[in-house]
Amino acid sequence: MAPSIRACLAPVFITSIFANLIHAATVTYDFNITWVQANPDTAFERKVIGINGQWPIPTITVNLGDRLVINVNNQIDQDTSLHFHGLFQKGTTHMDGPDGVTQCPIIPGSSFTYNFTVDQPGTYWYHSHSKGQYPDGLRGPFIVLDPENPFVDQFDEELVLTFSDWYHDQMPKLLADFMSVTNPTGAEPVPNSALMNDTQNLTIPVQPGKTYMFRMINMGAFAAQYVWFEGHTMRIVEVDGVYTEPTEADMIYMTAAQRYSVLVTTKNDTSANFAIVGSMDQDLFDAIPEGLNPNVTSYLLYNESKELPTPAFVDEFDPFDDMTLAPEDGLDLFDNVDYSFNLDLKMDNLGDGANYAFFNDITYVHTKVPTLFTALSSGKDAENVAIYGSNTNSFVLNKNDIVEIVLNNNDPGKHPFHLHGHNFQLVVRSEDEAGAYGNNATGLPRKPMRRDTVLVRPNGHIVLRFKADNPGIWLFHCHIEWHVASGLIATMIEAPRELQETLHVPEDHYAACRAAGVPTEGNAAGNTVDFLDLTGENKSPDLLPAGFTAKGIVALVFSVLAAFLGMAVIAWYGAAPITSGELAASQRRVEESSVVEK
């Protein structure tokens, strides 16, 4: 069944009505978060989280420089929040969205307002940042139109093309199964299907001989997707909100949360239609369920009277390497690093038997006081990293320092890392199995690519640099939603003293905290008197006991004693002389058998 073209493309075609607006405006959205029934892969109807009774949720479209006001009213039975992925939120770190970090949850039945200025162009997306919630549907495109777009003359029309994996089960259940003693290997739930624009087999009418800009977004929970347009070459002009030198690519590997804008010029004849294919990277899946179709197809529809092609089988994926891109603005490599630190990633089990993810042997656990409020309420102690808790992987950054993150992936999986509040330069990325970074890389790119979400390869490493010019609390985490749940998160505390002086958090935020019963003062443990006293803070489960514990020793001693006692009794019995009764019994047996014989 082909979905209705009109219904699916209505929010996708963005005409130039906004382009005339040169002066900054205020764009207001009223978002009621509601449950909606949906069946996007025509295989299973389920409850999804929609907005204003609609799903897919609306695309947020603003012009560069606009003020955006979103009035959220939570009408579902779960806490929620909204994060605007890729936006720097300069001066508005409290609008970034992560529940428990820069704000309190929007509890069921309550309201919350996001209000900030958008001063960066490009392709973004927005999603819930509460407890692995967005894969249940609360994620949508966020487009910032730019009249000054350097490529504005090179395309005729722009379209949004979202990619996503899709689960038939609800996230709360999947998360419970995932973070469980019965999932000791930490095998991530495998999606049931893949979607494009939250549907499948979408047809996109195109005109011959024109150029289209596709704003492609992977809004998935887990799966990266290989993306290609059959019979067409893509010209990459933007990644994650950063304009790039136009670069040709036949196939793109787009991790969860990455975005690419590509120019595609259509053919001059309309004799055939062409497939657009998204193919989930099955390397990520622990076991591939029978009957899983990892692919999703859409079509460039040149001619309605022609049939839709079946995509050709691809033997080997050979995607474009985003390290080779160059930013259009030509920003040089930050070569004087002020602060460099390592994040060593590993996966392991803790004492509750579940599988956790670690940076430097610490798995992230939410604090009692959202980190932003700890920074704001701690006075001079704000620069002491200890107050932010021992399970948050916090790093305090000085204003305008050049910060370098060296991430060593000691795990055989691929991970897409995302930094809030910034984009970063991709300085080094190793191949698979390269091991830890040896600090000896030569030939660093002079004008490295910048983006906000980057792939690190299995057992490889990446080196990222950014300038700490945005005071705020910014998470750095893997954008596989399962790994957010298992704690693969670090916290950047950027210029907290300046934050205390400049940031004004609106009353609305405090109201949300009061409603949720979350304190807004104190250290990670909620201690407002002694910020260095973290007694009672939230901690991860203990490590698995290594070897023998007291109960193990007791059990072993008892077992050995039981065996020796048992053998002593056997020896005693065996050595005891025979009694007359025994003899009689034996004799009787002999007699008895002879009776039978006779």
Partner 1 sequence: MVNVFAVPVFFICFRECLETAIIVSILLAFLKQTLGPDRDPIVYKKLVRQVWYGVLAGVFIVAVVVAGMIGAFYGMGRNTFGNTENIWEGVFGLIACIIITLMGAALLRVAKLQDKWRVKLARALATKDEPKASSGGYLKRLMEKYAMFWLPFITVLREGLEAAVFIGGVGLAFPANAFPLPVVCGVLAGVLVGWLIYRGASFGSMQIFLIISTCFLYLVAAGLFSKAVGNFEADKWNRAIGGDAAETGSGPGSYDIRQSVWHVNCCNPELNGGGGWGVFNSLFGWTNSATYGTVISYNLYWLVVIVAFVTMRYRETTGRWPLLRTKNRDEVHRDSESNSTHSEQAKKDIGEKTSANVREIRD
Candidates 109, 379, 536, 566; binder of partner 1 (CB under 8 A) is: 566
* Nearer to partner 1 (CB atom), residue 506 or residue 552: 552
Min dist. Cβ of residue 557 to partner 1 (A) = 11
Q: Is 289 in the site for partner 1 (CB under 8 A)?
A: no
Residue whose CB is less far from partner 1, 1 or 595: 595
- Closest CB to partner 1 among 532 and 555? 555
Rounded Cα–Cα distance for residues 583 and 576 (Å)? 13
Nearer to partner 1, 316 or 542 (CB): 542
Smaller CB separation from partner 1, 532 or 583: 583
Non-local CB neighbours of 319 within 8 Å, separated by 6+ positions: 226, 249, 251, 252, 253
Region of 83-91, 306-314, 405-413, 544-552 interacting with partner 1 (CB under 8 A): 544-552
Q: Which of 307, 82, 39 is nearest to 193 (CA)?
A: 39
Residue listed under structure tokens 């033997």: 315
Determine the interface stretch with partner 1 among 11-19, 259-267, 490-498, 560-568 (rule: CB under 8 A): 560-568
Q: Is 1 in the site for partner 1 (CB under 8 A)?
A: no
Stretch that binds partner 1, among 24-32, 312-320, 522-530, 553-561 (CB under 8 A): 553-561
CA distances from 220 to 123, 137, 166, 213, 320 (A): 15, 10, 7, 21, 20
CA 59 remoteness from chain centre: 20
Residue 596 makes contact with partner 1 by CB under 8 A: yes
The phi, psi pair for 262, rounded to 5°, reads -125, 145
With CB under 8 A as the contact rule, which of the stretches 8-16, 106-114, 260-268, 574-582 interacts with partner 1? 574-582
CA dist 349 and 245 (Å) reads 44
CA angle in degrees (0–180, nearest 5) for 544-546-549? 100
Residue 580 DSSP SS3:
helix
CA distance 497 to 513: 23
Interface with partner 1 includes 92 (CB under 8 A)?
no
When computed from its CA atoms, the radius of gyration of the chain, rounded to whole angstroms, is 30
C-beta closer to partner 1: residue 17 or 595: 595
At 507, phi and psi to the nearest 5? -55, -35
The number of residues that bind partner 1 (CB under 8 A) is 59
According to CB under 8 A, which one of 318, 352, 432, 530 is a site residue for partner 1? 352
- Residue 384's contacts (CB-CB under 8 Å, 6 or more residues apart) are 396, 531, 532
Q: For partner 1, which is the closer residue by CB, 168 or 267? A: 168
CB-count exposure of residue 268 (10 Å: 0-12, 13-18, 19+): exposed
User: Which residue has 């053919």 as its token pair?
Assistant: 267
Out of 53, 109, 208, 351, the only residue in the binding site for partner 1 (CB under 8 A) is 351
Binding mask 164-203 for partner 1 (x = CB under 8 A): -----------------xxxxx------------------
From 268, 271, 310, 594, residue interacting with partner 1 (rule: CB under 8 A) = 594
- CA 158 to CA 216: how far, in whole Å? 11
The single-letter DSSP state of residue 11 is: T
Which x/- pattern, by CB under 8 A, does the window 241-280 give for partner 1?
Answer: ----------------------------------------
Verify binding: residue 288, partner 1, rule CB under 8 A. no
Among candidates 440, 419, 421, which has minimal Cα distance to 430? 440
| CA angle (417 as vertex; 412, 422 as ends), nearest 5 | 165
| Cβ at position 292, least distance to partner 1 in Å | 16
353 binds partner 1 (CB under 8 A): yes
CB 512 within 8 Å of CB 114: no
User: Is 572 a binder of partner 1 (CB under 8 A)?
Assistant: yes
598 is a site residue for partner 1 (CB under 8 A): no
What's the min distance (Å) between Cβ of 508 and partner 1?
44
Task: List interacting residues with partner 1 (CB under 8 A).
Answer: 181-185, 287, 348-349, 351-353, 355, 544-549, 551-553, 555-556, 558-559, 562-563, 565-567, 569-597
